[in-house]
Each structure stands twice: as C-alpha cells, then as structure tokens.
Amino acid sequence: MEDNLLEIKNLKVEYHTFEGVAKAVNGVNLRLGYAEALGLVGETGAGKTTTALSILRLLPKPAGRVTQGEIFFKGRDLLNLPEKSMRKLQGNQISMIFQNPLTSLNPVFTIGEQISLVFQIHQGLTRDEAKKRAGNILEVVGIPKNRLEEYPHQFSGGMRQRVGIASAIACNPELLIADEPTTALDVTIQAQVLELMQDLREKYRMSLILITHNLGIVAEMCSNVAVIYAGQIIEYGSIKEVFENPAHFYTKGLLSSLPSTGTRRTLLKPIQGFMPNPMELPTGCKFHPRCPSATELCQWEEPGLFPVSDHHSAACFVFRKG
C-alpha cells in the first residue's frame, strides 16, 4: 500500500430509488501509483463516475450508498474519515474536474469568487490574497486575470472547462480525477484542453484518473488503462498491452468498433446487445449475455481478474489456470 497513492478494495455502491436498488459498482479493485496516469474506460452506465464520486465521498444522498469495500489514500481509509478531515482533502489533496462545467460552476458567483474560495478554505488566505492567487492560476490555464469578475455564462464551453481545471488544480492536488473533461467540447478545443491537462500534470507531478469512453484520449494521456463493465474492472494493464493484445471479449469489441485509417474495413463490428440494467444484473459473468464465446460456466460463476502477463490481467475464464 505504501507504494500506491490510491488503493480501492472490493468497492460496491448501490443507489436506492423508488423503482428499486441499482447496483452501480460491484467489486471494483484499483491501484494508482504516485504520478501515474490511469484511464478508466467503458460504456455509459458502467460505473465510472460513481467510482470517482465514491473516492471523494460525493455520492448523492440519501440514494447513493457504499455497501462494501475500502478506499485508501496515502494509507488513510477515506470511507471512515471524519467529515471534517474529509473536507480538508476534497479540492486540496484530491480534486476533480467535472463533466459539464456549466453545471459544476455556480452561475450567481463570479469566476474569481469561486476560485478564491478554494484558497480561502484550504490555505487560509485573506480575500485579497486569494483573489490574487486566483488571477495567477487563471493565467496558468490560459485565461487573462482581468476576467476574474465575469460570470460562468460569459465564457465559452472551452473556457469554462479551463476555469474548472484552474479550480481543480488550485491547491496542487496529488490526485486529479477528470470525469469526461472534453465531452461537451468540439475537437479543436478538446485537443487544447487535453494538452493543457498533460502539461499541468507533468509540471505538478499529479496522479491522474481519466474517466472517458474515448480510447484515443486514453492512449494519448495515460500509461495504464482499466476497462470497466457493469460496475466491475474486466481488464487492466499497460496501454501498449491492452491496446495491442486485448484479452477480454468486451475490450476486443470496443477496439473493433472503432474506425481505423490504417486498414481497409467496410463495416464496423459493434458489440451486440446492451449494457445490463443495474437493477437486474445477470448472474455469473456480467458480460456473458453479449459474449460470443460464453460457456455454461460463465452463466453461473463470476470470474476474478486472471493474469494474462506480468502487467496485464482480464476477468475471463479463458485465462484461469488449473
């Protein structure tokens, strides 16, 4: 554990609603090293964002509940930290860039007020000192400090995302979680935001969890990748191993459904079927209803992560030895 900045053990999360209980995360195990960049990929509804919100203890209440598991950050059990201690970590040592900056920024406060508040809460700065620091951090992300007194609606989508990044990195966090940071942006702005994030990560030596369904972004930004399906990690390894030698049939399906400029292919090969309803998850391997090679064993027994190579594992009985 001392070698890891973050370690998640058998995390399970449920949402209790009027319609029933949705099992959003079903035994996630993850490790993140210091200054490591990890991509967390999967379809919409796979449990990516719920896993991230669990780390920061920001699950919507009272619906969202961690029912099992442990989350350690630098050896400290986050799920059992007192509320006051957790608030000192949120936005300070662990920070998050949210998917939609228009909804994550408060529309009735200026950009300067919102960023300054981070410095006032976590570093005890006065209002004037915090405002000065807010102007400096805005310029780090490419926004002139003279825009401090403007409101979120006065910024474009790309500029709002830069404001979100500025707020997230204000206290130089050791762990940055980026939840689909470029989804609402056009391709040109996407490239600028990703380049900015990469430069800042290298400058401040931050660890990064990048949540996305875009495999190209993961290949560009991360050294390792975890593929999540129905709330479980079904493949984990280095970018090179997973992308060049995908082991799980779901990962193979994701990669084969992408258009390629290097090969002649008339039709893409989408994964058949749909993500299972979290209120009615199948028994055994959660992917078996969509898997072309599923056996009777897959229907009743849930596979763990089996080693494919030294730094590559997959949740498939094909790789179980003995």
Q: Which helix (H) or strand (E) holds 21?
A: strand 20-33
User: What are 145-174's pLDDT values in tens digits?
Assistant: 999 999 999 998 888 888 988 898 888 899
Domain span including residue 301: 223-322
User: What are 42-72's pLDDT values in tens digits?
Assistant: 988 899 999 999 999 999 999 999 999 999 9
Coil, strand or helix at 304: coil
User: What are 78-109's pLDDT values in tens digits?
Assistant: 999 999 999 999 999 999 998 877 788 899 99
Query: So what's the pLDDT on residue 73?
Result: 96
Q: Is residue 12 part of a domain?
A: no
Q: Which helix (H) or strand (E) holds 65?
A: strand 64-73
Q: Which tops the pLDDT comparison, 296 or 200?
A: 296
Query: So what's the pLDDT on residue 266?
Result: 66
Q: Is residue 249 part of a domain?
A: yes
Q: Is residue 313 part of a domain?
A: yes
Residue 43 · residue 59 · CB < 8 Å: no
Q: How far apart are CA 41 and CA 252, in angstroms?
A: 13
Domain count, the chain: 1
Residue 207 · residue 222 · CB < 8 Å: no
Q: Is 184 exposed, middle or buried (0-12, 13-18, 19+ CB in 10 A)?
A: middle
In the chain, count of helices (H) and strands (E)? 11, 12
Coil, strand or helix at 301: coil
User: At residue 1, does pLDDT exceed 50?
Assistant: no
Q: Is residue 25 part of a domain?
A: no
Q: Is residue 116 part of a domain?
A: no
Q: Is 281 exposed, middle or buried (0-12, 13-18, 19+ CB in 10 A)?
A: middle
Q: Is residue 233 part of a domain?
A: yes
Q: How confident is the model at residue 263 (pLDDT cuts 50, 70, 90)?
A: low
Q: How far apart are CA 56 and CA 209, in angstroms?
A: 13
User: What are 290-305's pLDDT values in tens digits?
Assistant: 998 899 999 999 999 9
Residue with tokens 């996630």: 28
Q: Is residue 120 part of a domain?
A: no
User: At residue 267, does pLDDT exceed 60?
Assistant: yes
Q: Is residue 261 part of a domain?
A: yes
